[in-house]
Each structure stands twice: as C-alpha cells, then as structure tokens.
C-alpha cells in the first residue's frame, strides 16, 4: 500500500472510533439544553447591506448583497476556497454494470483525478441509476463516512486500498440504494476521506496541497478548512455528473448528514449548479443558529474540530454575538433554489429548534426572489413536513439518517424537481 493510501485508511479506522461513534452517544454534559436559558440575541439582517442600505430588489441581492454575504462566510467561518476546477482534472470509469441490484439499477464506478498525476489526490465516485429510466434522472449526491463499500452490500463495489471487506454494507441503513432507485432517482456517493482526511493538522494528504504556494504546508489565514475542501470535492463530483448520460445534471441534489450536512449547505451556497440542497442534523456550523448557544457551541466545535473551519472562526469562541453572520444567512445564499433542513427530536446537541429558526429567518430573501420561502411560522410537530421552497422536517429519534429521512428527502425532491422519466 502506498503512503497516501495507508494514511487515508489509518485515519478512517481512527476516526471511526473518535469522531464517527459520538454521533450516536448521549449529549455531552455541561451544555445548555434548556430553552428557557437561551440568551437574548439579535440576528444580523441578510437584506441589510454593509453600507447600511436595505436590499429591496432581486437584482440588488444577486449583484451586490449576495456576494457580500458569501464573502463574510469565507472570511470568518469556512475560509476562502483558493482554487476552482483544476486544469488537469480528469476521470475514468473503471467499472460499470447494467444489471446491478438484481437488475434494478445501473452501477458505475468512476475515479476522478484532481491533477495529471496518477498518484496525486483523487476520489472514487460510486453511482447507481434506475435501469428502467427512459432518460437522465435527478440524482442525490452525498459524501459518506466509512467508504463506498459500506453504503450497500454489493460485492462489486471496489474496496479502498487496505479496506476491510467485513464492513461491506454496514451503513446500508443510511443509504437505501434500492429505495432511491426504485423511486426514479440516482445516487452518487464518495468517501469523504478521499477528498480530505478528517484529522487535525493533517494538511499534506488530500486536496489542500493542490492550492499551496511554494513552501506552504498548511492553509493560510482565512483559507479553507476541511469543510471547505469537502464542499469543493462535491463540486468536482458535479463536474463529472453533468457529463454522465444517465444523470440529469440540472437536477442534482446535494445531501449531507452531521458534519457533511454542514458541507452540503456550504457547497450549495457556493455552487449554484446544485438544484436542491438537503441538510440532515447539521447543527452548529450548519443549519443551527450560533447565537442560541444551545447544544454544541462555536467554542466547543472549534476546540474539538479545529480543522473544519477557517482559523478566523475561532475569534468567535464564546463571542457569537460578534459574528457578522449567522446560519440563516448561509441558507439565504441558496435562494431561490429549494433547501430542506431536517432535524431529529432527541438530537439536542444539533439544536433542532435552532435549525428550524435558521430556515425560517432565511425566508425574507427567498420571498424577495419570488418564492414562498418558509410556509410555516411555527415549528412543526413530529413527522410534519413543511414542503415550501424552504422546507423543514422533525422526526423522532436521534442523530442518524433513517428510512423516514429518505422518505422525506424523496417527497421533497418530487415536489420541487418533478419525478424522473422512469416513473
């Protein structure tokens, strides 16, 4: 096994214990889970420009205010992405089948190289599309935590170098491939470690070196952290999907859970090619309002995961009121495209109410751009889908992706993107 592959796989095993497992653990003690103890706060107005003028037209938002808000998130939260699509980027299909999952799906496995160097950074994309589709289909795109081979017990899915076949299909509960393709959608997924290893101070393996100047060994002040890198990788996956004959590149849905839900929101905010954005249990730094200080806080996330954000985000540890943005403004950057925020009742660490309020407070931008925004003015009850252009859903249970979540994802996509040609 070459050194980069060994590092990626070692990181995967380590993170499986240290970072992934806590998603299902009890809420940490010493943090606020009492709504009556949420401090008073005032949210910045997404429609109030930096010069103090009020944005009153769609053109003002698109041409002036939206770039301002995007820059503020680059400067203070996620960091600026220093590169776009690399000139040497290319891909090759290394496996395909017309009869996957008992004939239900087409399967394709694609290696995407980020440079002309075969040994340089790359990612493997796994794609399933319905075999009975009469044309290209809308497709869910999401990063996975444990490797492509873990999303479905398909023996043809290639193992990562040094991978363990005993965990094949272990995350099937989060990725119901057969249900997705039966409903007329494609599914594309990538192991997030292929893009950037989720390890503090691990800046040499992954895509960051593609942007380094001579002598640079880590991102500079204000540059992208891991969330920025993962979001960049999702855009590079979309570059490929736009060329695939079985995928409708104008109807690609970016979806993510937990830290990858933060990533899906940031990727959808930056890349307007994504037709629909879904955040599941994304919490602090994702859909939840930072100023509420409910559950995970800015200080806690920057202490536990300092590599996720730009170094400047740490200025707001315990000082959330000084942030020039809050997460409702992140959602507003997705306007007027549909966005769905999903929460779980028992996942207080991710602050379900804060996620709902963030979606609600993005509504003025959506309404300015001619949509219905968030149709509900009160947080809905369990299993009640708000299916307006800004959608929201709260399900029973904890921090996970479940069959119920996928039912909601598909229902929301059906409403806003239309069903595929296979239905």
Q: The dihedral of CA 414, 416, 419, 420: what is its sign?
A: negative
Contacts of 94 (CB under 8 A, 6+ apart): 109, 110, 111, 158
Q: How far apart are CA 345 and CA 340, in angstroms?
A: 16
How far CA 139 is from CA of 7, 148, 238, 245, 277, in Å, comes to 31, 17, 10, 12, 12
Contacts of 208 (CB under 8 A, 6+ apart): 196, 218, 219, 224, 229
Q: How far apart are CA 196 and CA 260, in angstroms?
A: 12
Contacts of range 145-149, beta carbons closer than 8 Å, 24 or more positions apart? 145/20, 145/171, 145/191, 145/192, 145/260, 146/12, 146/16, 146/20, 146/170, 146/171, 146/191, 147/12, 147/191, 147/193, 148/109, 148/124, 148/189, 148/190, 148/191
From the list 258, 264, 290, 388, the catalytic residue is 258
Q: How far apart are CA 411 and CA 421, in angstroms?
A: 16
Helices (H) and strands (E) in the chain, counts: 13, 9
Establish whether 246 is a catalytic residue. Answer: no
Q: How far apart are CA 53 and CA 38, in angstroms?
A: 30
Q: Where are the beta strands (DSSP E) in 60-145?
A: 90-99, 105-113, 122-130, 137-144
Q: How far apart are CA 176 and CA 331, in angstroms?
A: 27
How is residue 84 written in tokens? 């776009």
Q: How far apart are CA 274 and CA 160, in angstroms?
A: 27
Helix or strand holding residue 269 (H, E): helix 259-270
With vertex at residue 289, the alpha carbon angle to CA 276 and CA 327, rounded to the nearest 5 degrees, is 45
From the list 208, 399, 416, 420, the catalytic residue is 399
How is residue 338 written in tokens? 């549909």
Catalytic residues: 258, 399
């Amino acid at each position: 096994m070459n050194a980069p592959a060994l590092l990626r796989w070692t990181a995967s095993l380590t993170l499986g214990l240290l970072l992934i497992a806590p998603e299902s653990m009890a809420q940490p003690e010493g943090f606020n889970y009492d709504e009556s103890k949420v401090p008073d706060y005032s949210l910045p107005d997404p429609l109030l420009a930096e010069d103090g003028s009020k944005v009153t037209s769609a053109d003002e938002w698109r041409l002036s205010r939206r770039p301002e808000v995007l820059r503020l998130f680059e400067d203070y939260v996620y960091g600026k992405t220093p590169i776009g699509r690399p000139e040497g980027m290319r891909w090759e299909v290394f496996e395909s089948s017309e009869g996957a999952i008992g004939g239900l799906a087409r399967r394709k496995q694609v290696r995407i190289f980020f440079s002309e160097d075969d040994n340089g950074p790359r990612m493997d994309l796994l794609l399933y599309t319905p075999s009975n589709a009469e044309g290209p289909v809308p497709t869910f795109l999401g990063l996975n935590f444990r490797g492509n081979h873990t999303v479905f017990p398909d023996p043809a899915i290639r193992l990562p170098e040094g991978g363990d076949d005993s965990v094949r299909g272990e995350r099937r509960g989060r990725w119901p491939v057969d249900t997705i393709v039966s409903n007329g959608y494609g599914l594309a997924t990538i192991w997030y470690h292929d893009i950037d290893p989720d390890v503090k101070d691990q800046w040499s393996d992954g895509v960051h070196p593609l942007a380094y100047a001579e002598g640079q060994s880590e991102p500079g002040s204000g540059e992208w952290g891991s969330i920025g890198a993962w979001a960049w990788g999702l855009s590079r996956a979309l570059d490929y999907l736009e060329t695939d004959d079985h995928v409708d590149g104008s109807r690609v849905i970016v979806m993510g859970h937990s830290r990858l839900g933060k990533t899906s929101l940031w990727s959808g905010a930056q890349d307007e090619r994504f037709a629909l954005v879904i955040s599941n249990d994304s919490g602090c730094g994702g859909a939840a309002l930072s100023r509420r200080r409910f559950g995970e806080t800015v200080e806690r996330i920057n202490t536990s995961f300092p590599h996720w954000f730009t170094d400047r985000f740490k200025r707001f540890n315990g000082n959330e009121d000084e942030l020039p943005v809050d997460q409702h403004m992140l959602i507003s950057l997705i306007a007027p495209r549909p966005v769905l925020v999903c929460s779980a009742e028992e996942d207080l660490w991710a602050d379900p109410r804060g996620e709902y309020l963030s979606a609600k407070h993005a509504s003025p931008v959506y309404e300015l751009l001619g949509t219905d925004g968030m149709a509900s003015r009160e947080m809905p009850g369990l299993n009640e889908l708000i299916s307006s252009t800004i959608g929201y859903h709260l399900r029973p249970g904890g921090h996970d992706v479940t069959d119920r979540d996928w039912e909601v994802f598909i229902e929301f996509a059906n409403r806003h993107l239309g069903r595929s040609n296979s239905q």
